[in-house]
Amino acid sequence: MISLLFGTDGIRGEVLLDSVDDQSAIEAILLNRMVTKALLRLVGEALSRQTSPGDNVIIGWDNRPANPELVAGLTQGLHLGGCKVIHGGICATPGLHNALLETKSKFGCMITASHNPVSDSGIKIFDSSGFKTTPELEVDLSELVYQLAAEEREVDFEDLEFLAKPETIFNADFAHQELLVIRLAEFTGMFGPPEGEFLLDCSKGAGSNWLAQLLSHNGVITSELSHDAPALNDGCGAGELSPTDSWTWLEAARSDHILVRSVQRAEPGKIIGAALDGDGDRCLFLESTEDGCKVMDGDSMADHILRAGRGKWHLAASIESDLALSTSLKRLAAEITSSQTAVGDRWLSCDLKERECSVLGVEDSGHLVMSTPHPHGGRALVGDGAASLFAVLCAIGAEQSSHEFNRGFKHRVSIDKTDRSLWTGANELADKVQKTAEDILGELDRHGLEGEPNLMMLESEGISIGIRNSGTQAKTNVSLRIAPGLDLEKPKAAAQKIIELLRVALT
């Protein structure tokens, strides 16, 4: 059994720009979570084996200092395999997604590490329909990388310099801006025009150069803050906010986060700020409270959209979302069905792609997956932080229901420095965890979900406990969700016992 190079969402790690051979590049990512130019070249070669001669592959990247070197390595690998390469330039991940569809490319590659520190980078891969890599493709690509690294071959470095240049340039960022104008018009027609005045933090990503102006031009007075941040994702952006964060005004004024310390007092419930993550595929809001401010997470954002919705909707929610557990959904004007997915926006997209109604996918981290116009006709699915921001602003003024989102209780703990091989979700340790929970809560339904081979869900009416390994770090996560109106004491006690058991068993 090979070790997969891919985590929950692509490959990511700290960038090492030293020149290394192919075997060392693989060891660097597997043992030390380090991404090298040689690794990206290998991935490019492996990806080219999934194409036909002359197929286009488009590459976009965010504003990390090491990304030009990684783009060069990936371009070299794709060229070695016979692909034609298009460079989309600096853009958001949804901008690369749109550029992939516009150029009818076989694959789209986004060089980013999302909300990770600017010293990290990596790659996300989309297929020709705009869906992220499947587990099966990730296994194939990992195997091909191992095979290529084992081959004895000489590389002409003068040729590599030539092979790092693309055949074509496509302005993915500008095309994304044009698409967002269309999407804003759609949301305005669906719900109503956006309103308000707030501060914006695009995490010094692509949108920091134009999103505030686009909003202001459409009636939402907006000021961008992240220009003053030291670097991408450094003291700014959605990546440094948690769905459960809240502050008093005094705490907010002392915060290291540029948006939190800049927002001003307002009446409770008013949106006073919004933050995208570094690669622009998710969004979180800040709203005012009685004595400070708090994060409006993805669940609350989706709730606003569904309150304004009409007709039939399907909601796909990840296992860390509490919206689908809420009784609030039953009191909305829209007719809503729901389903539960593994963690990761690719699983939301997979669940939604065959639905014949209005669709919405949600993760509490601020990933919202929605339908978007396909540039060549029809619709596609994408998670886009700017579009999510538009949808919520338009929906708030047109809500059909005045009920408050009755959230219940949610708690998530990451156990650090775990040996993830000891947790499979189906071994003796998993049986012991189930017994520990059932000793307190009684009989529970135990099951997994597609896309999370090590996930174990323990559920009863209104109670959900999930245990899963992190896809990118040496962590194992325990999530507890309790529907509103239920007793909290026993489920919280069961979750704490599980955390104590796993902390001993896995570390």
Q: In the chain, which residues have pLDDT < 50? A: none
* pLDDT on residue 366: 95
Whether residues 392 and 423 share a domain: the answer is: no
* pLDDT on residue 446: 95
Write the DSSP string, 352-365: HTT-SSEEEEE-TT
Let me know how long the chain is.
507
Query: Does residue 401 form part of some domain?
Result: no
Helix (H) or strand (E) holding 356: none
Contacts 24+ apart (CB under 8 A), 249-255: 249/291, 249/292, 249/293, 250/292, 251/292, 252/292, 252/293
Whether residues 125 and 271 share a domain: the answer is: no
Whether residues 66 and 194 share a domain: the answer is: no
Instruction: Give me 448's structure tokens.
Output: 């997994």
Whether residues 180 and 161 share a domain: the answer is: no
* pLDDT on residue 144: 96
Final residue in a domain of this structure, among 144, 170, 196: 170
Whether residues 293 and 418 share a domain: the answer is: no
Report how far residue 414's alpha carbon sits from residue 362's, in angstroms, rounded to the nearest whole number.
21
373 CB neighbour count, 10 Å cutoff: 15
Strand pairing partners for 11? 123
Query: Does residue 404 form part of some domain?
Result: no
* pLDDT on residue 157: 60
Whether residues 181 and 163 share a domain: the answer is: no
Report how far residue 205's alpha carbon sits from residue 110's, in angstroms, rounded to the nearest whole number.
13
Report how far residue 130's alpha carbon sits from residue 107's, in angstroms, rounded to the nearest whole number.
8
Query: Does residue 324 form part of some domain?
Result: yes
- Residue 171 sits at φ, ψ, to 5 deg, of -80, 85
Whether residues 415 and 359 share a domain: the answer is: no
Query: Does residue 4 form part of some domain?
Result: no
Query: Does residue 402 form part of some domain?
Result: no
Whether residues 371 and 468 share a domain: the answer is: no
Query: Does residue 6 form part of some domain?
Result: no
Contact 246, 202 (CB under 8 A): no
Would you give the end-to-end CA distance of the chain in angstroms?
23
Final residue in a domain of this structure, among 155, 170, 185: 170
Whether residues 225 and 356 share a domain: the answer is: yes
Query: Does residue 465 form part of some domain?
Result: yes
Query: Does residue 403 form part of some domain?
Result: no
Whether residues 265 and 321 share a domain: the answer is: yes
How many domains does one find in the chain? 3
Whether residues 418 and 367 share a domain: the answer is: no
Put simply, whether the predicted model's pTM sits higher than 0.85 gets the answer yes
Report how far residue 59's alpha carbon sits from residue 421's, in angstroms, rounded to the nearest whole number.
33
What residues make up the domain containing 442?
Answer: 409-506
- Which CATH number fits the domain that encloses residue 115? 3.40.120.10
- Which CATH number fits the domain that encloses residue 476? 3.30.310.50
Whether residues 166 and 180 share a domain: the answer is: no
Final residue in a domain of this structure, among 170, 191, 212: 170
**Furthest CA-CA distance within the chain:** 68
